[in-house]
Structure 1
């Protein structure tokens, strides 16, 4: 008889922001960028730890990982200082994935400054690239200047949070193999937006090649799709495939809130994940919801 997980949760991927006082170009009034969930006007509002805890309802969030929010790239340290201030006031977040543009001339200085901040564990710089399977071109993961910036992370003990669609993962495999001392954490399950059998087969094959690298992990996060409610039935095949490929010891839960509030409530999403992983052994469920994120992001109990 499956036992539903009821322990502490470490949210490995979430955001806080105050668009009315901080520099988020994409959250400004009247600005509309191409967004995978479509209309995102509803999240152009303050979102702070007290609101997040209210959204979580009865679920016990023990810790969270703040992921950079496309803050003004002219001030990457400013975002880290802001998130660190939230932690001092609210007790959340407990780790930070900071902004660092790896191909800029100031990359070495920014990485060093970010690494000096006590809560920073990782950095993120979305590498762009082909927008659909089979499209010609490469991402920044193949750019020499970007890779030179990436090479600096290991010396500072920093991970790299990678957000790229699954069809770019062969470049990520090369990156992981060339830098075995740096952990790559794939955000949002490689963005499997299309769920037809052929698309899922291609996604799984790319994910399997990536999972074969020992220095990678993955977040079961950001699984919503425009026009579809977040359900365990819709997302279960993706989550089960992640755990099959990476194991629970390299797979971690992430809410992607408040972004995924466009797809479902936080209690509904957490309950959905709990239902999906209920057939797993208790220790695997604990790893998925708590233990893996604690270890990867070096969070204290």
Structure 2
């Protein structure tokens, strides 16, 4: 039976395009392909309209690559948005974890609002330049990064981990080194295509052995630029086989996926893909896991 209960969107964005050089400046190749249609403001009012049409009642904002010298401003802006609208329900911010001063930046963010729950540092690297964000494939071994990740436990923050399948051995080593930090694997491990399936399966299975990592069922349109029910069903089946419903959660990745779909269509496709599961598992994936991991009160 298709899930019809409350939904938490564990991964979405809002933005003012003027704050983001990759939106307001020259076009930069991005992992999700051409993006002219979202080179504009996507503010909380539009997100809330999309969410209301999709049955989403709570949401977690994830950083959108503001310039690193303005990541405190990003949190300050989000705090004002939340004060005026009550949303987003929680924030994942950014900091340059390769910088010795990152702990001070994170403390400044925490002083603005208790709604900051963690940091995303995009560590994915690929031989194709448009898929690349990190400066090298092995940045997870960097001692400054590791020292700064260690400080997340003191803040009670999590780390959003974004890597490709071939980087998962290093990712598993990183996660194992910090058992007191919760890691959230973005976009179900970013399976680019069938040629990476072997690496993805072995890497995901190894990560799932570590109790301090959970996974997001998000971003499955990133490489195919559509809502593919077969892909979504296949990825969900395998991910849940490794992690279980208590360590998996749904998110929209909007407005990026607005490039090829509407939010109601995306949500409905995931509801259909998971409709065979017991009601308790569906509730965990669509709401319960996100509430626990991000400390939501709903």
SS in 2 for 1:17: coil
1:106 CA drift (Å): 1.4
1:127 CA drift (Å): 2.2
SS in 2 for 1:123: strand
SS in 2 for 1:45: coil
1:263 CA drift (Å): 2.5
The C-alpha deviation readout for 1:125-157, integer Å capped at 9, x for no partner, is 11244447xxxx642210111111111111111
Question: TM-score, normalization: structure 1?
Answer: 0.92
SS in 1 for 2:210: coil
1:171 CA drift (Å): 1.1
1:257 CA drift (Å): 0.2
Cα 1:258–1:282, aligned 2, differ >3 Å: closer, same or farther?
A: same
Is 1:39 matched with 2:34?
Answer: yes
Is 1:84 matched with 2:79?
Answer: yes
Cα 1:245–1:227, aligned 2, differ >3 Å: closer, same or farther?
A: closer
SS in 2 for 1:189: helix
The corresponding residue for 2:8 is 10
Higher helix fraction: Structure 1 or Structure 2?
2
Cα 1:28–1:58, aligned 2, differ >3 Å: closer, same or farther?
A: closer
Is 1:213 matched with 2:196?
Answer: no
Q: How far apart are the structure 1 equivalents of 2:126 and 2:89?
A: 34
Q: How far apart are the structure 2 equivalents of 1:184 and 1:131?
A: 25
Q: How does 1:10-89 map to 2 (within 5 A)?
A: 10-20=8-18, 23-29=19-25, 31-56=26-51, 58-89=53-84
Cα 1:230–1:73, aligned 2, differ >3 Å: closer, same or farther?
A: same
The C-alpha deviation readout for 1:151-192, integer Å capped at 9, x for no partner, is 111111110011111211111111111110000001111111
Provide the alpha-carbon RMSD of the alignment.
1.7
Q: How far apart are the structure 2 equivalents of 1:130 and 1:60?
A: 36
Q: How far apart are the structure 2 equivalents of 1:156 and 1:56?
A: 30
1:243 CA drift (Å): 1.1
Is 1:154 matched with 2:153?
Answer: yes
The C-alpha deviation readout for 1:230-254, integer Å capped at 9, x for no partner, is 0322321011111111111110001
Structure 1 unaligned blocks of 5 or more: none
1:200 CA drift (Å): 2.0
Q: How far apart are the structure 1 equivalents of 2:79 and 2:228?
A: 33
Question: TM-score, normalization: structure 2?
Answer: 0.93
Q: How far apart are the structure 1 equivalents of 2:53 and 2:16?
A: 25
Q: Answer yes or no: is the 8 Å Cα contact 1:128–1:139 preserved in 2.
A: no
Question: Which of residues 97, 111, 121 in structure 2 aligns to 1:102?
Answer: 97
Q: How far apart are the structure 2 equivalents of 1:273 and 1:222?
A: 12
Q: How does 1:239-258 map to 2 (within 5 A)?
A: 239-258=236-255
